[in-house]
C-alpha cells in the first residue's frame, strides 16, 4: 500500500518539509494515491475543467503513478464526454485546505465507453452506483425538480436485469497528465514547483 500523507503537518520546527523537488514529487504522488483510495481525502473530489471553460466536481477513481494518469467515471451522454471524445485538453484542480496544498494538473483526456477498463469499472460498481446511468442524460430538461431516474427506481435498488440498459450510458474518463503544478501556502514562505516530462523546476508562487 502506498503511504498516506500527513495533511495537517507540512511544517516541522519552523522549517518547510518541501525543500527539494524530490520531496514535492513524493508529496504529489502520495496525495493523489490517497485521493483515489480514500473517500475522506480532501482531494478525493477535484474540480475537472474542459476546453469549453466548463467545470465540475468529479470523484477520482484511480491514479496510476507509473503512467501518470487519472481515471474518473462519467455518463457517455454528458456534454463533456462528447467534447473530450478520443482526445482533448483537460485540467484538474486538487486542493487540501488543511495542508494548504494545491495541485493543478493539465493533460489529455480520452473517453472509453467500451473496453477492458470501462468493463472492469462497471463490474466493480455496486447497483446503486449503476442506477445513476438509468436516468435521463445529464442536462436533460425537466418541468419539475427531478433526479432524472425512472420513477420505478426512485429509492429502489435495481436488479441486474433492470441495469442492462444502463451499461451503454456508462464510460470512463482517462486523463494522461502532461504537467503538474504544486503550490504550498506557508507563513515561512510559499513554495511552488512544476513537473513536465519527468522533470521538475522551481517557479515563483
How many CB atoms are located within 10 Å of the residue 117 CB?
14
Percent of the chain with pLDDT over 90: 76
Helices (H) and strands (E) in the chain, counts: 4, 11
Q: Look at the block and give the residue holding cell 456534454.
A: 79
Q: Are 179 and 108 in contact (CB under 8 A)?
A: no
The domain locations on the chain are 15-114+173-202
Q: Are strands 170-184 and 191-196 parallel, antiparallel or unpaired?
A: antiparallel
pLDDT tens-digit map of 57-93: 999 999 999 999 999 999 999 999 999 999 999 999 9
pLDDT tens-digit map of 10-41: 454 445 578 899 999 999 999 999 999 999 99
Q: What is the mean pLDDT of residues 100-128?
A: 97
Q: Look at the block and give the residue holding cell 457517455.
A: 76
Q: Are strands 47-50 and 55-57 parallel, antiparallel or unpaired?
A: antiparallel
> Per-residue confidence at 149, pLDDT binned at 50, 70, 90?
confident
Q: Are 59 and 72 in contact (CB under 8 A)?
A: yes
Rounded distance, CA 178 to CA 84, Å? 16
Predicted TM-score (pTM) of the model is: 0.88
Listed in sequence order, the residues at least 6 apart from 12 whose beta carbon sits closer than 8 Å to its beta carbon are none
What's the Cα-to-Cα distance from 92 to each of 43, 47, 124, 131, 189, rounded to whole Å? 11, 6, 24, 26, 25
* Three-state SS at 151: helix
Domain 15-114+173-202: top CATH class:
mainly beta
Per-residue pLDDT at 203:
96
DSSP assignment string, 12-38: ETTEES--SHHHHHHHHHHHHHHHHH-
Amino acid at each position: 500500500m502506498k503511504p498516506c500523507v500527513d495533511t495537517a503537518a507540512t511544517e516541522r520546527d519552523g522549517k518547510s518539509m518541501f525543500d527539494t523537488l524530490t520531496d514535492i514529487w513524493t508529496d504529489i504522488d502520495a496525495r493523489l494515491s490517497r485521493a483515489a483510495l480514500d473517500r475522506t481525502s480532501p482531494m478525493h473530489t477535484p474540480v475537472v475543467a474542459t476546453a469549453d471553460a466548463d467545470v465540475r466536481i468529479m470523484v477520482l477513481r484511480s491514479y496510476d503513478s507509473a503512467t501518470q494518469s487519472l481515471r474518473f467515471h462519467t455518463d457517455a451522454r454528458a456534454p463533456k464526454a462528447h467534447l473530450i471524445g478520443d482526445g482533448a485538453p483537460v485540467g484538474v484542480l486538487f486542493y487540501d485546505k488543511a495542508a494548504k496544498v494545491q495541485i493543478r494538473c493539465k493533460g489529455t483526456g480520452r473517453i472509453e465507453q467500451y473496453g477492458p477498463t470501462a468493463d472492469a469499472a462497471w463490474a466493480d460498481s455496486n447497483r446503486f452506483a449503476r442506477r445513476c446511468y438509468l436516468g435521463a442524460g445529464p442536462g436533460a430538461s425537466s418541468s419539475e425538480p427531478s433526479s432524472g431516474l425512472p420513477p420505478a427506481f426512485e429509492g429502489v435498488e435495481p436488479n441486474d436485469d433492470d441495469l442492462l440498459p444502463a451499461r451503454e450510458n456508462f464510460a470512463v474518463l482517462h486523463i494522461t497528465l502532461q504537467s503538474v503544478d504544486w503550490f504550498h501556502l506557508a507563513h515561512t514562505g510559499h513554495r511552488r514547483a512544476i513537473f513536465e516530462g519527468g522533470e521538475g523546476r522551481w517557479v515563483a508562487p
